[in-house]
Structure 1
Amino acid sequence: MFARLGHIRNWIFDLDNTLYPAGTDLFARIEARMTAYVGRTLGIERDEAFRVQKGYFHRYGTTLTGLMADHGVDPHDFLAEVHDIEMDVLDHDAPLVAAIARLPGRKLVFTNGDTPYALKVLDRLGLGDSFEGIHDIHAMGLVPKPDPSAYAGLCAAFDLDPAVSLFAEDMARNLAPAKAIGMTTLWVDNGSEQGGSEQGPGADRDFIDFTVHDLTSWLHDILEAS
């Protein structure tokens, strides 16, 4: 394995737009349902609901967190509704399944979604048996990435040493807290980032150790180099 990765014992992966290509637009289906939920809850038109939704995402890390803070939304109701989508755009990903199976050490999913949804995605990809556990929004106490408490909670829940852990994520800003506690960081730069000056061109990304455009190809490359 590449010299810079020989120490890694824990492989931690974000879910959406990381374990499947952003080009599937699966998350767009979730976003559409989030916009509808915001519009109905606040009694506003779609365009305004979309603006409010994005504002919550950038301010709080997730739309849900903003809705809970400002409107007392029930997280279980919200998550059940926005995750009620078809998975037909996802296919069994045999190369990714094989690569993750070959990684030495523990493998985990770290997602701002919830476990029932994550399991549906993983099963569709063929990854249902690939991970030791899922650290979801409920395990985070409903305080999502990039809040530092989410990362501390992950490490405590699974007794992880950040110094021997790698975190792969498509949202660059979510990697900064991981790097701050000593994790190796992998940015899956696949076009999924949702704007914001902190993520725009020229933004400080010194907290990123590796940048890849295709997770599966990168995993196979490092495994073949080992």
Structure 2
Amino acid sequence: MIETDGRRLKGDASRRLVLEHAVDLASVDGLDGLSIGRLADAAHVSKSGVATLFGTKERLQLAAVEAARLRFVATVIEPARVEPRGIRRIVALLDGWIAYSRSRVFAGGCFFAATTTEFDAKPGAVRDALAAALAEWNGYIAASFGYAVAQGEVGADEDPEQFAFEATALLDAANTRSLLGGSNQPYVFARRALVTRLRSAGADDAQLARLTDVDDLAA
């Protein structure tokens, strides 16, 4: 039993190590760019070891999507949960997402922005996993904004799903433009637009300080 458990622990550690490299590689070259050979080189493990851990390329891709989702949740969503539901949590989520993209938590910027374009027109399990991860993020933004509506922090006529669409579109554009231009200026523009949108919805300036007080060019 001890030997079996030891092998399992070693296998789990190897899997985590390989996936850490897999998500970074995929954020640059896409999920279709993942190969057992290249991943083995990056993680300094054998090809047979990678093949044993994942079996097929699709299983490797699905595992990479889940590993990326967990890294995103730990980086953006969990820290924001210390804030009360409503505008303060929305602000923490938006600011956290900008920091996540700006600091290249994934080597190629946002993992999901990099990989969804590969699979948006390709039916299958990988597309479904990516769609579910994006729906989870959009749904969390919408639900958080819904609390702001219910608490009277923004106008009663505000549509949480509309806000989530607008906010994520701005964030995705900032990520892409930053990568293409090699500049943090797009985050400045996105931050400014998000603040304007929240103010127009009725949010108080004091609640928006976390978004307004950050200098992305100096960060």
TM-score with structure 1 setting the length: 0.30
- Larger RCO (alpha carbons 8 Å, 6+ apart): 1
More strand by share: 1
Structure possessing the higher radius of gyration over alpha carbons: 2
TM-score with structure 2 setting the length: 0.31
